[in-house]
Structure formats: C-alpha cells, structure tokens
Structure 1
Amino acid sequence: MEKSVATLDKGTICSSWNYCAQRLATGSVDGTIAIFDTSDPASSFFTSTFRFKVNDGSVVKVVWVPPEYGDAIACICSNGSLSIWEEVTQDSEPVQWKQCKVFGGPMDQVLDSQFGNSLFGLKMTIAYSSGLVKVYEILDSLELKNWQLQAEFQNVTDSVTKYGKASCSSASISWSPQRNEARPSSFVLGFNSDTSQLNSPKVWEFDKDHQRWLPVAELADPGDKGDQVYAVAWAPNIGRPYELIAAATSKGISIWKMASNPDSDGRLFVDKVVTFPCHNNQIWQMEWDMSGMTLATTGTDGRVRLWQSNLNGVWHEQAVIETTT
C-alpha cells in the first residue's frame, strides 16, 4: 500500500535527499528552500522544520554537501547563481540557515554543480553556460566559505585545442561515488550546447603526479559525439570489476560499462551495454540507488521509470511510477 511521507509546498520543483541525516531539502519557484525532518525516528512522515528565501527567482536545483562537512546545501537559481547555505547554531540563539558563499550570476550562469568527497578533501565541480568547467576545493573543512579554484578547462578530449565561448542551455555532472587510495578523484560531465565538441559525456580524472585533470574516457559512439546531453549518473560500485555510468541524450538513455584500469595511454575502455529509446521524452534527471543496481529516471512525460538488469545482464524497464492526479 502506498503511503505519503511528506507534503511538499505548492510550487516545489526540485529536491535532494540526505541519506545520512535522513533529511529532505526542496526548492520552489518562489526562491524558497524548505528543510524537512521527522520528529520521531520511528515515524516515516517528514514535516517542514525550516523555510528560508534564497533568491527572487526560482530554485532549479538543490544538493546536500557531504555530511562530514556539516548540515549544508548548495542551490542553483534561475538567475544563474549558485549559493551555499549552512545550518548554524550560535550560543543560545535558535538554529538558522546562513549563506556562506555565492558563485556565478546573470553574466556567468551556473548550469550544474556537484560535490566530490575525495580522500584529499571536499571538491566541487561547476559547469557554466559559457562552456567552462571549474573545480574548486575547500581550504578548511570547518569553513564552507573558503573555496579555492583548483582547475578551469573545457569539456573536450583534446585539452590543447581551445574553443570560443559556447552557448550552453544545460549541463550535468556526476562524481564517482568511490573513495579509496587506489582510485583517483573522477567525475563525468556532459553539456547541452551549440558547440558539439563540448557535448558528449567525458570522464575526468585527477592526475596527482602532475596536479591536473585529464579526460580518460568519452561515452559516445563515433557518430553521436555531438549529441546534446541532458543527464549523466555514475553508479555506486559494490564489488564490480568495472564502472557503470548512465547518459541521456535525445536518442535515449545509454548504460555504459567502463574499465577500472587504464590502458598504456591512460585511457579507460568503455562499452555501451544498452540504449533505451526515450520516445520524445526528454530526460531531466537520473539517479542510481545506493547499490548501483537500479536506475531511476524522470523527464517531460511526468513519470518516474526504474531500470534494472536481470541475472543474465539484460536491462529492462522494471517499473513506471505515475502521479494519481
């Protein structure tokens, strides 16, 4: 039997779940962020405990900062700004959410941002409407206002070639969920832009020896490298000898298998496992479950679809969730 777990504000258009703290953050068209908690650990119903205004425009994305760095969120607004808000308690004053950093804006719009929690500290990747990618790192784990620019580059496999300012309408970033000394920090990124070279999803790894980010894989067939990318999602890996990454374009949702170890040229072998046609349904968002076995997608058709692989490795649509009203 289906059961409601929260009643969201009217105008809610984005949300993010904090698995560790069991909290929900939502963003609305009126620029408001709402935080939901449950007062009883045994209860599964969440109510709004904090509500605060972050922008005059709408909030288009909200994401939690990794829990090791406190209770904090980042939100992207329709004016292109990215702001980081932290829950703080000062002496006997009530708990408040305070803004501690702002990136981007109308002249340099942020399209997407994701945190990467490596062994060497907290990092954040930001994709801009100009086609630039910037990676920041935190200088002090207790100060979310102190970020340092670590790298700036374009999403191309040939890092020597530079392209002019692009016009990008969206971007999608997904960090590798793995954290161990054997694997370098890495993320996948794709653009929806007018510059085909920037679009295809590329996997970037941090080269510790030379202190730079390098493209190590491209998730696109030769004829599809210019296709505009709507979403990417890197699956958690529990014991697999390879990585799984999902990428959505106008041609469908593709599941890619990527080798864990590079070849002699430092590249990672990739193989497209399957492509699910979208049937004119533009994908908005994709997310894997914590086991990396089920992929959830949502798009313009208003449905949530769950995709799974059977024991023979054959992928199929496992379920479709539709609204009742």
Structure 2
Amino acid sequence: MLQTSLLATGHADLVTHVVYDFYGERLATCSADHKIKVFRQMPDGTWEPEAEWKAHDAPILHLSYAHPIHGPLLASSSHDRTVRIWEELPSPSATGGSVRWAERAVLTGAKGSVRAVEFSPPNPSYGLRVASIATDSHLRVHTSLDPELNDWSLVFDVHVPSLAAPHGEEPPAPSTPGDGPASAEAATGGWGISWCKEKWWGSVIAVFSGTAPTAKIVTLDPFPKAVALLQTPGNTSPLTAIAWAPSCGRSYHLIATGSRDGVVRIWQVQPPGDEEGAPRIWSSEVVAEFPKGARVGMVEWNATGTTLTTSDDEGVIRIYKPTYAKNWKLLGKMTAEEPLGDE
C-alpha cells in the first residue's frame, strides 16, 4: 500500500475529525481550535485549502457531509453542546475567489458534548434528517422541510439506554465510577451513530452510548424502537466506533464496530424477510473479528461496502477486504509518518 502525500491542515490544535464529501473531491477537517477547514483535490492529487472559518465556541468533535441531492451541506458537532448546519454559498464571481459557508441552523438541547453527527441517506418519504448523539446518551434527530434550511424541528429525542432491547437480550452495562455523562466520558466510553444506507427499510440507525459494550439497531418510524442488538457474549469493553456499510445489492447488511480494547468486529445483519416462512425479526452475528490492538478510533467503509478502513490510538491505519471464501484479509497498514506495507 502506497502513501501518496501528507496534508498539512494548518490547524492550531488537535485535528479531531476528517471527512470526505460524496464524490471524494473535497475534504473537511475540524479541530480543537474551534475551526473547520475545507480542501479541494487538484488534478495532480494534492489538496488545496478552499475555506476556513470559526464554527463553534468550543472544540469541534465531528463532521458530516449531506448527500449532494440536498445541496452542499455540512453538519458539525462540538463540546459547546450544539450541532450546526452549514451551506456553501455560490462563488462571489465567475473567476472564483474564496468559498464561503453560511450557518443555516444551530440545533440545541443536548445536555452534554455532542460526540457524533450524521446526515441521513436521501429518502423521499422523510426528506432531510440529521442525527446526533451527545454524552447525555440521547439520540436526537432533526429535520428541515424549509428549502432555505432556516426552520428545523426535533422529530425524535430518545434516551438510548431506555430503548427496550428486543427479546430481553441486553446484558447489564459494566459499572462505571461516579455518575453522569462526565464520569462516563472520563472512563473513555464512546458515543456513535451510523445510518442504514438503504431507503427500503425506512429510517434505521445503529447507535451506541457511554460504556455499553453493545450497539442497538433502531427503527425510527413511526416511533423509535430497538429491533436488534450487536453484542458478543462475555464482552464488556465499551464501543468506540461504528459504521453501516452500503449494501450494494446484498440481501443482508454489514456493520463494523470498534471497541476500547482494540477489537474490530464485522457484523452480518439480516433484516426481516417478506417471503412466506421467513423470520419477521432482525438478526445479527459476528462474521469477522480482528485481533486486539490499541483503542479503535475509527471504522469506515468504501462506497461499495467491500473494503473496511480502521484507525487506532497508535496512529495505525489498516485496510481489510473479504476474500472469495468470505474470509477477511488485511491488505496493508500504514501510519501518518510512513507506509508499513502488508502483514
């Protein structure tokens, strides 16, 4: 695996998240310096800065690009307990110039740092939605029916631990010293969300919160309901990352999770069947598990859901891909300093 280049972001503090747009032509970064920066890929493969602005009053934790069907939109979440929606404005002149992003909404109500935010996939049945989860362990989903994006409403606000687990499957969460979101955060718990990418199943999202070693698959309409759990018997390590893969014609879904103990798992999730005799419930099983390493920071799928990229707290990036025998193989790994090649 080859390392092509390094990106000097120019942030004055720790870079907390990096996200590509739908086409992979732009790269947005956020930082503890309260700023967002956007870069555009040039024909020679380098990244040129395109926009920079102070977006929050505290360190920014997460970013999400909307699907281009909704226009050039970016969501950000922060320790300041808000989610902010940004829209790219047209270039001031035909010759270009600095790209500007305008604030379209400030979504409040969180009682803790908003740790993750993600726009929903396009679905004409419910329009534009953005989900977020904060250290108060509340999953909040906002929507806007206003073409100008000035009017947002909270459609769901659910305490994740209070969502009843299907079939009474949920194990007790590991004990945490102290009480409340602050102590849970100090115990290096995690909070994460990832939308189901297929509109056929409606508004479905995977979510985990706090020090729970499990993730829940939640259907939102007509009301939030946990329909499946991603759990491994005997595992008590808090989750730290989650990503729902595009299905691309598969009859099942793949979800990747990472945990504090460094384990990455790939789950095969089977939705209810329509044919006679098919199960009427969601089911899940682990189809791959990668050895323990440093705490997992990120898991991300490619556009077809066939390659998984992970990162950890030691700064190592790994790429996995299934073989024809459906065994997952490590293609290679690298660090920010140098490529490390195959294992």
Give your verdict on TM over 0.5: yes
Which of 97, 103, 109 is residue 101 of structure 2 equivalent to?
97
Shift of 1:19: 2.8
Q: In the TM superposition, what whole-angstrom CA distance separates every residue of 1:25-58 from its partner, at most 9, and x where no partner exists?
A: 11123111111124x5x43222112111113432
How many Å apart are 1:5 and its aligned residue? Answer: 7.0
Q: Distance in 1 between matches of 2:220 and 2:29?
A: 32
Instruction: Report what 1:271 is aligned to.
Output: 285
The gaps in structure 2 that reach 5 residues or longer are: 169-178, 339-343
Q: Deviation per CA, 1:160-213, whole angstroms, max 9, x where unpaired? A: 99xxx9525331111111234xx22211011133xx4xx520111234xxx212
Structure 2 partner of 1:228: 238
Q: Which of 327, 332, 342 does residue 314 from structure 1 map onto?
A: 327
| 1:255 counterpart letter in structure 2 | I
Give the superposition deviation at 1:129. 1.4
For 1:212 and 1:204, locate their aligned partners in 2 and report how far apart those are by CA, in whole Å.
Answer: 10
2:180 and 2:250 map into 1 onto residues whose CA distance is 37
Write the letter of the residue equivalent to 2:331.
Q
Is residue 88–residue 98 contact of structure 1 (8 Å, CA) maintained in 2? Answer: yes
CA contact (8 A) 2:111 2:134 kept: no
Query: Partner of 1:145: helix, strand, or coil?
Result: coil
Q: Is contact 1:254-1:272 (8 Å) kept? A: yes
For the pair 1:174 / 2:179, whether they are aligned, the reply is no
- Aligned: 1:124 with 2:130: yes
AA paired with 1:49? Answer: E
Shift of 1:266: 4.7
* Matched AA of 1:82: V
Partner of 2:77: 76
Q: Structure 1 residues 90 and 18, CA, compared in 2 at 3 Å: closer, same or farther? A: closer
CA 283–85 in structure 1, closer or farther in 2 if over 3 Å, else same = same
User: What is residue 173 of structure 2 aligned with on the other side?
Assistant: none
Tell me which amino acid in the other structure corresponds to 1:119.
Answer: P
Is 1:213 matched up with 2:224?
Answer: yes
Tell me, yes or no, if the aligned pair for 1:6 and 1:47 is still in contact at 8 Å: no
SS in 2 for 1:212: coil
Q: Is 2:259 the counterpart of 1:249?
A: yes
For residue 107 of structure 1, report the CA deviation from its aligned partner.
4.3
> What amino acid is aligned across from residue 220 of structure 1 in structure 2?
Q
- Of 140, 158, 169, the residue aligned with 2:164 is 158
Once residues 250 and 55 of structure 2 are traced to their aligned partners in structure 1, the CA distance between those partners, rounded to angstroms, is 41
Matched to 1:60, the amino acid is L
Q: Which one has the bigger strand percentage?
A: 1
Hey, what does 2:175 align to over in structure 1? none
Q: Partner of 2:250: helix, strand, or coil?
A: coil
SS state of the match for residue 197, structure 2? coil
Pairing partner for 1:190 from 208, 216, 220: 208
SS in 1 for 2:87: strand
1:78 Cα deviation (Å)? 3.1
Q: Distance in 2 between matches of 1:44 and 1:204?
A: 39
Change beyond 3 A, Cα 1:91–1:206: same
Q: Alpha-carbon deviation of 1:261? A: 2.1
Alignment partner of 1:282 is 2:295 = yes
Structure 1 unaligned spans of 5+: none
Residue of structure 2 in register with 1:291 after alignment: 304
- Matched residue, 1:303: 316
Which deviates more, 54-63 or 292-301? 54-63
Q: Check whether the contact 1:5–1:44 (CA below 8 A) recurs between aligned residues.
A: no
| Farther-moved stretch of structure 1 (128-137 vs 282-291) | 128-137
1:68 is paired with a residue whose SS is helix
Deviation at 1:144, TM superposition (A): 2.4
Q: 1:106 to 1:137 in 2, by over 3 A?
A: closer
% identity of equivalent residues: 23
**In structure 2, distance between residues paired with 1:20 and 1:139:** 25
Q: Does 314-323 or 303-312 show the bigger shift? A: 314-323
- Aligned letter for 2:197? P
TM-score, structure 1 as length reference: 0.84
